[in-house]
Structure 1
């Protein structure tokens, strides 16, 4: 990460997942990175996007560990106990939609709210949040997957709005939504064979390269792992 200052400090939220774990591992291998703190459901402090209070507690306990130059929010929920992605309107269920928004929108939004005040000031800092290309309204040509699409589209609005606010206090900061592609992970496991899968380590490498190239004027944007800017 050549764009971040030497000895930069990184925080990964959602590190229990395949992509979050891969991101944390690659940051630990970066000799320019002084600290990598990877938080997940089993870490200390623990972070669970289904339990909003854990984000508040983690931010409070880490208040003296920053400031952070890089905050990565690597979480996502496509399917689970509440069901699979809906193919039609008839498949919509309130419980599944609520669960999707809890993990894909509300959790990351609260992470931004709690950890943005801990970003480094007076030097470059980046907050990158995992979104998904299917959350693009402009790129939606197939339909379906209502809850996942809607929750990621809502996340994109949070990212755009947060970027506007943070520019006032952190002019060198970048806030970005990132599309990692189809990654070999538990999230995509039920859909094996439907798309080209990529190892989590490759996706992590590509995402960090995209982050490294983003400038303050790019803040509030939506980017794919190959550097392509995606439509909202």
Structure 2
């Protein structure tokens, strides 16, 4: 599953009850080379928008290292706010929620958990971004708040990778596009689009992340391993 990591590697999945998160966790738990795979979600009192709960989760898990941190959190329709079709549809509260869930939350995960990556060996951190977060690949417009929040997430990953490399040169951080996956998130927008199953997306994401060399830490890639322009 993750041949670049040592046998007996430990993994931690955030958002472990979502469509992709649960598939990632199940894939890791089924891997004979994985020593332990732990999931965090709201069911465990883990609230992406409450830093206190994130810090408490880190403390609750003890001081052990994790070779893989996989952030499968995120949201598209939040509190009734869906993707905007035009500038006139922007709502400040809706935009703030997009940034809280899709950018600030993952940044807080990095803040409290990146120190759990080992210093003396290879480790991985992946977070779910989206191709629509690419600025250079935006040819359709719309979805302003969601696009902007995912673009911010990409910058967060890029910047964090630079800092992490100073003490953990073998660590790889990446923003990952999971494809269009058959989950509740994509259901309202999936008409006439082929969708990956959560299991297929999870397997592809883990494979793409595992294949990245340390020199590419901080990159933005799709589930098939192909780079996506910023």
Q: TM-score, normalised by structure 1?
A: 0.96
What is the CA–CA distance in structure 2 between the aligned matches of 1:145 and 1:79, rounded to whole Å?
11
The partner residue of 2:186 within 180, 185, 188 is 188
1:64-93, CA deviations, whole angstroms, 9 ceiling, x for partnerless residues? 2x2010000001111132411001000000
Contact 1:15–1:21 (CA under 8 A) maintained in structure 2: yes
Aligned to 1:92: 90
- How far did 1:190 drift? 1.2
Count of residues in correspondence between the two structures: 229
What is the CA–CA distance in structure 2 between the aligned matches of 1:187 and 1:30, rounded to whole Å?
27
1:88-125, CA deviations, whole angstroms, 9 ceiling, x for partnerless residues? 00000011101111110000000001001111110010
Aligned to 1:41: 42
SS at match of 1:90: helix
The partner residue of 2:154 within 140, 153, 156 is 156
Contact 1:126–1:175 (CA under 8 A) maintained in structure 2: yes
Structure 1: which 5+ runs fail to align?
none
- How far did 1:61 drift? 1.4
Aligned to 1:75: 73
Is residue 29 from structure 1 mapped to residue 30 from structure 2 by the alignment? yes
Q: Cα RMSD over matched residues?
A: 0.9
Aligned to 2:6: 5
Contact 2:124–2:210 (CA under 8 A) maintained in structure 1: no
SS at match of 1:197: coil
SS at match of 2:127: strand
- How far did 1:194 drift? 4.1
Alignment of 1:1-232 (within 5 A): 1-43=2-44, 46-64=45-63, 66-232=64-230
Contact 1:63–1:118 (CA under 8 A) maintained in structure 2: no
SS at match of 1:58: helix
- How far did 1:188 drift? 0.8
Contact 2:78–2:98 (CA under 8 A) maintained in structure 1: no
Contact 1:82–1:99 (CA under 8 A) maintained in structure 2: no
SS at match of 1:42: helix
What is the CA–CA distance in structure 1 between the aligned matches of 2:39 and 2:96, rounded to whole Å?
26
